[in-house]
Chain A
């Protein structure tokens, strides 16, 4: 009864929490709905493949299950025989995908999925794609193509494959994407088997077939059917999805963090302002647990209302977010939003959970308020900041410092995430320790005014000392806004300085042959550019020091220093991972399923330009016929005179900048979106808490008016106080962002082998701080003016 009445009658006091929960839940809903919609779906090409049998996964160097280990043809054959003998199976297909891309009029046909567009003819029955015209391929130089390509039966078509541009006879067409060669040809292009597809016989259900298959393969393979078949997805989609997931993941994490943080500080502030009311309840017989239940009840109801509204707003915002992601080209093609129940339920649960958690934190001590406080004339603030709060603050601070060090050591993939995590930890620490810091720092800041005759300086300095917890609550959102704004913009600036510098340095005096319209350089391109670095990358499997099968990147090099048959050159980190030294032998399993024993010729310091595991180019080509070559780095003196179609030749420095610009566009948008979230959200919180605090002080203002203060003096007082609090918050925010930025700069310096300084744009920083200041002072002035005007009635 009481909790609901409180909500009904004092909605303005709870409005701030409501708005915060609403914003947080809306953000979470939108990101989850989009995330859910971008989850991989079963490829149309595999629609009729009832069951997929996939080889086991290897771990990546961090111990996370990653690539599946392709079966060798000899391993796959008996397995396929056993599976084919199952009663429910109509056909068994070793499903192969490899690079194939048609050239029309001498130019590559645009196809994002080209890297996996080539298949054996038997894969066509997995869709199934029926022949529209012509017949199945029967010879190695025959191909069946998509009717949409516009090439008819009988024509000769140039198809770019790993070897280079090759003429094929078109012998048939189908209504589906891809290039279908003979199965023998496919097996030569990609000998390893990454997937065995089973087509169920008439009247056999996929799950029954899956169960049968599982009995056959035991733990030698995973058996998937139904929606789980989406695990087999084209690499280019997986990559885009990864980028998109990174972005919305970061948004969701930031939104969640800000919600928890702001709701907790708002509820702490609101509850602190209700000490007298709670004391009254205690006086007339409420037990601490009843008070706690009341506070939790209010927060739960507010959380529920905010969550419901937030879900609605989030659903409305999801298409907007989708639009942004599509604009950034980080979504799989034809992304349709679908609204499932789980994103809404998750977001709403988070909303309610966060407000309950915040209320629990706020109510943990206030519930035990001494009833006698109801008798006292003034609202007394909680005198102690609390040992718990300080202890937790120091622990989180320590965690933040550790994370800052980790940031410096983190690899490129994790650097941004650890930096964000570090900042979160330091922001929480700053907010927890703010009551201790705000008074002394504020007093130092106001020192120049202390000797003035004005009452404002006197009041502000006294208030900072007496009302430290409240000042800290006001500073909290400022810490978040400034902390994240500085971190994210600094991150972009620092990376902008680091990457082109490092890349350009390494590329001085070279030209670069890059694929254009194709996913990589074919052997034809490599042969046309016989001088310079032309790394052939592949994924290979090795036992690490603990004997676990681990997937690593292996580079085939034609550099005479490393191009030695039977030998490998390892980076120090990889050597440590595998537990080997120079002179040891180690086995490497390649994409074709063959295992080769290599001698570790040298262990050298890590160098991304060389590679972590370098072998001879011929070795990689022999065991991974589908691999395409990376950019070719040609010394300027050997600059090619002619350009192979499907490639372009660039000046190195220009290329580094262009390459960076592509990355930068993504990073910039990511940072911009996150800054909008953090600043916008923090701004709402800031206005809310300033308003709430000012309203709680109406009585102080009445006393000051009675003591002869003019409205102008009241306004100048509250503005001055807000300024000091914002200044302290901004200072703490900057302090929270600097360690992770410094860690990042040092990490980048090592990675690019150039001196990278910490970059923060002063004008940007000024804009954020002044913006916060304007917002907070505006809000507090408005409420003060309103309170003062009411006082005159």
Chain B
């Protein structure tokens, strides 16, 4: 299961004593203050925390979008700290999937074209069946020819999930994927993510401030002041699934 404080070589992502300091001298703020964590393959982790707790910084460092001040990030067995800009781009393209709060898709391309875009950047063509299968897996098989403007917010997020899926990434990073959605479409997207973990074994790391969203994960990690403050294992049958106890934890942290 999720390991805090130490890591296993089988983990899809490992963070070793990760530190990130913004600014300099007196004005410096430690966004991450020594985080060590491992994310096993096939696990679904939610990261929660109050504003400024460092959860977005954690995600950006883990995904190679931002360089940590100190510490190591290992994705799929590769230490990304030693990679050049180009190698990091290729790492993102081939081994990492992303879903953000909004603006996930290239407006001028159809859903299907958006799904195959990362492979195109890698100079590969994805067979039609694979694209269709990925869109079918998120329940959008019949929307392949639609453009983002013709899709609802939830559908757009599911296209982004399909895009992440088709490259078979070692890990999927999701930053507030339901932040811009209403409750019903939120559920749609969360259920899709859950299914991808269960059926495809997709390692997933999600940053959220919504307890209901966090409740679909296997484990919820709480960050405060750049450190791991707490973690809960979510039981599939317990009342934790409704998010009430997660909300209580959050409230305690913010107090």
Residues of A within 8 A of B (CB): 1-2, 5-6, 8-10, 276-277, 280-288, 290, 370-372, 374-375
* CB 8 Å contact bits of B46-86 with A (1 = contact, 0 = none): 00000000001000100001100000000000000000011
Given A283-B65, A290-B121, A374-B103, the answer on whether A8 and B108 have CB atoms closer than 8 Å is yes
Given A1-B120, A284-B121, A375-B175, the answer on whether A9 and B66 have CB atoms closer than 8 Å is no
Contacts of A10 in B (CB 8 A): 107-108
* 6 residue pairs from A and B, CB less than 8 Å apart: A2-B117, A284-B118, A285-B121, A286-B121, A287-B89, A374-B103
A5 near B109 with CB under 8 A, answer yes
Partner of B66, one of A282, A283, A372: A372
B60 near A282 with CB under 8 A, answer no
Within 8 A of A (CB), among B155-171: 163
The yes or no answer to B94 lying at the interface (CB within 8 A) is: yes
Bound together, the chains give a CA A282 to CA B118 distance in angstroms of 10
> Closest residue of chain A to B91, judged by CB?
A285
Closest 3 CB pairs of A and B: A285-B93, A9-B108, A372-B65
B65 near A284 with CB under 8 A, answer no
B121 near A280 with CB under 8 A, answer no
The yes or no answer to B16 lying at the interface (CB within 8 A) is: no
A371 near B100 with CB under 8 A, answer no
Contacts of A1 in B (CB 8 A): 109, 113, 120
Partner of B108, one of A5, A284, A287, A371: A5
How many Å from the CB of A291 to the closest CB on chain B? 10
How many Å from the CB of A108 to the closest CB on chain B? 71
In this complex, the member of A1, A282, A283, A286 whose beta carbon has the largest number of chain B beta carbons within 10 angstroms is A283
Bound together, the chains give a CA A371 to CA B163 distance in angstroms of 17
* CB 8 Å contact bits of B7-22 with A (1 = contact, 0 = none): 0000000000000000
Contacts of B107 in A (CB 8 A): 9-10, 277
Within 8 A of A (CB), among B86-128: 86, 89-90, 92-94, 98, 100, 103-109, 113, 117-118, 120-122
Contacts of A6 in B (CB 8 A): 108
Partner of B106, one of A2, A287, A288, A370: A2
Bound together, the chains give a CA A286 to CA B105 distance in angstroms of 14
Residues of B within 8 A of A (CB): 56, 60, 65-66, 85-86, 89-90, 92-94, 98, 100, 103-109, 113, 117-118, 120-122, 147, 163, 175
A283 near B98 with CB under 8 A, answer yes
Given A6-B108, A10-B108, A287-B86, the answer on whether A371 and B92 have CB atoms closer than 8 Å is yes
Given A9-B107, A284-B118, A375-B175, 5 other A-B contacts at CB below 8 A?
A2-B117, A280-B106, A284-B93, A287-B86, A287-B89
In this complex, the member of A281, A370, A375 whose beta carbon has the largest number of chain B beta carbons within 10 angstroms is A375
How many Å from the CB of A313 to the closest CB on chain B? 28
How many Å from the CB of B172 to the closest CB on chain A? 12
Contacts of B108 in A (CB 8 A): 2, 5-6, 8-10
> Closest residue of chain A to B90, judged by CB?
A285
B100 near A284 with CB under 8 A, answer no
B89 near A282 with CB under 8 A, answer yes
How many Å from the CB of A87 to the closest CB on chain B? 68
Contacts of A285 in B (CB 8 A): 89-90, 92-94, 118, 121-122
Bound together, the chains give a CA A374 to CA B56 distance in angstroms of 13
Contacts of A9 in B (CB 8 A): 107-109, 147
How many Å from the CB of B26 to the closest CB on chain A? 23
Bound together, the chains give a CA A283 to CA B94 distance in angstroms of 11
Contacts of B94 in A (CB 8 A): 285
> Closest residue of chain B to A9, judged by CB?
B108
> Closest residue of chain B to A370, judged by CB?
B65
Q: How many A-B residue pairs have CB under 8 A?
A: 72
How many Å from the CB of B67 to the closest CB on chain A? 11
Partner of A284, one of B60, B86, B147, B163: B163
Given A277-B106, A285-B90, A371-B92, the answer on whether A5 and B121 have CB atoms closer than 8 Å is no
How many Å from the CB of B59 to the closest CB on chain A? 9
A5 near B113 with CB under 8 A, answer yes
Contacts of B147 in A (CB 8 A): 9
> Closest residue of chain B to A286, judged by CB?
B121
B109 near A284 with CB under 8 A, answer no
Bound together, the chains give a CA A281 to CA B104 distance in angstroms of 9
> Closest residue of chain B to A8, judged by CB?
B108
B103 near A280 with CB under 8 A, answer yes
Bound together, the chains give a CA A284 to CA B163 distance in angstroms of 9
Bound together, the chains give a CA A706 to CA B121 distance in angstroms of 39
Contacts of B175 in A (CB 8 A): 375
Bound together, the chains give a CA A288 to CA B84 distance in angstroms of 13
> Closest residue of chain B to A13, judged by CB?
B108
Contacts of A281 in B (CB 8 A): 106, 117, 121
In this complex, the member of A281, A290, A371 whose beta carbon has the largest number of chain B beta carbons within 10 angstroms is A371
> Closest residue of chain B to A284, judged by CB?
B118
Given A6-B108, A284-B163, the answer on whether A371 and B117 have CB atoms closer than 8 Å is no
Bound together, the chains give a CA A55 to CA B192 distance in angstroms of 88
Bound together, the chains give a CA A286 to CA B120 distance in angstroms of 9
How many Å from the CB of B40 to the closest CB on chain A? 25
B113 near A371 with CB under 8 A, answer no
Contacts of B85 in A (CB 8 A): 288
A283 near B92 with CB under 8 A, answer yes
Contacts of B163 in A (CB 8 A): 284
Bound together, the chains give a CA A10 to CA B147 distance in angstroms of 12
How many Å from the CB of B84 to the closest CB on chain A? 11
How many Å from the CB of B229 to the closest CB on chain A? 23
Contacts of B105 in A (CB 8 A): 280
Contacts of A284 in B (CB 8 A): 92-93, 98, 117-118, 121, 163
Bound together, the chains give a CA A375 to CA B56 distance in angstroms of 10
Bound together, the chains give a CA A5 to CA B65 distance in angstroms of 27
Contacts of A2 in B (CB 8 A): 106, 108-109, 117, 120
Bound together, the chains give a CA A371 to CA B175 distance in angstroms of 14
B100 near A375 with CB under 8 A, answer yes
Partner of A375, one of B60, B86, B90, B106: B60
Contacts of A370 in B (CB 8 A): 65
> Closest residue of chain A to B123, judged by CB?
A290
How many Å from the CB of B165 to the closest CB on chain A? 13
Bound together, the chains give a CA A277 to CA B105 distance in angstroms of 8
Contacts of A371 in B (CB 8 A): 65, 92
How many Å from the CB of A289 to the closest CB on chain B? 9
> Closest residue of chain B to A276, judged by CB?
B103
> Closest residue of chain A to B98, judged by CB?
A283
Contacts of A5 in B (CB 8 A): 106, 108-109, 113
Contacts of B121 in A (CB 8 A): 281, 284-287, 290
B104 near A280 with CB under 8 A, answer yes
Bound together, the chains give a CA A284 to CA B147 distance in angstroms of 18
Bound together, the chains give a CA A284 to CA B94 distance in angstroms of 9
Contacts of B89 in A (CB 8 A): 282, 285-288
Contacts of A286 in B (CB 8 A): 89, 93, 121
Contacts of B106 in A (CB 8 A): 2, 5, 277, 280-281
How many Å from the CB of B163 to the closest CB on chain A? 7
How many Å from the CB of B128 to the closest CB on chain A? 14
How many Å from the CB of A209 to the closest CB on chain B? 61
How many Å from the CB of B153 to the closest CB on chain A? 15
Bound together, the chains give a CA A381 to CA B59 distance in angstroms of 24
Contacts of A277 in B (CB 8 A): 106-107
Contacts of B118 in A (CB 8 A): 284-285
Contacts of B104 in A (CB 8 A): 280
Bound together, the chains give a CA A375 to CA B108 distance in angstroms of 19
> Closest residue of chain A to B66, judged by CB?
A372
How many Å from the CB of B132 to the closest CB on chain A? 18
Contacts of B117 in A (CB 8 A): 2, 281, 284
Bound together, the chains give a CA A385 to CA B243 distance in angstroms of 48
Contacts of B98 in A (CB 8 A): 283-284
Contacts of A280 in B (CB 8 A): 103-106
Bound together, the chains give a CA A6 to CA B107 distance in angstroms of 8
Contacts of B60 in A (CB 8 A): 372, 375
Contacts of A282 in B (CB 8 A): 89
Bound together, the chains give a CA A286 to CA B65 distance in angstroms of 13
